[in-house]
Structure 1
Amino acid sequence: MNYKYKTQKVCSQEISFNIEGNVITNISFTGGCNGNLKALSKVLDGWTVEEIEAKLKGNTCGVRGTSCADQLCIAVRKAYDEQKKA
């Protein structure tokens, strides 16, 4: 299933990815720090929701209470929970 998430309080505007069970693939950020987010997307490809949360949840960017990585954690958890309900 392809999932799109509108980010909040960060430079990227949207995160899209595929989710099958709890495995996340094809992560793509719209906007944000292009090189860093491309690298992050490659490194995390094939990781589970739990693995992504364990490494990145709560990561902040500057004075913001969140970051693109933290927003990804929120997005994958939301997608996973919605998928379980369907």
Structure 2
Amino acid sequence: MQTSATELMLKGYGLTTAEFTYHMPDFAHVLNTFVWQDYDIAPDHPRLFKFIEFWQNEIEGPLHSVRFTHRKEISPGRWRNVVGEFTYH
């Protein structure tokens, strides 16, 4: 079962965006870019590094560089679940 984006954000995940610059397999002097996004945990970024490892093992275009940014949309301290209801006369 997939975890929703909101549940991930409440667990401390933030949106990580990475721009991969890589050499084209058939034209070694030509660079191309690929943008990747996923929810990940800073500062270790396990999902990003797993994707980089996948790229190095499975994709023919060798990496030139990777630029990334990480942004927490919400944090547990800024959100609270209120359960209950009261009436005002």
Q: Shorter-chain-normalised TM-score: which range?
A: under 0.3
Larger radius of gyration: 2
Higher relative contact order structure (alpha carbons within 8 Å, sequence separation ≥ 6): 2
TM-score normalised by the chain length of structure 1: 0.26
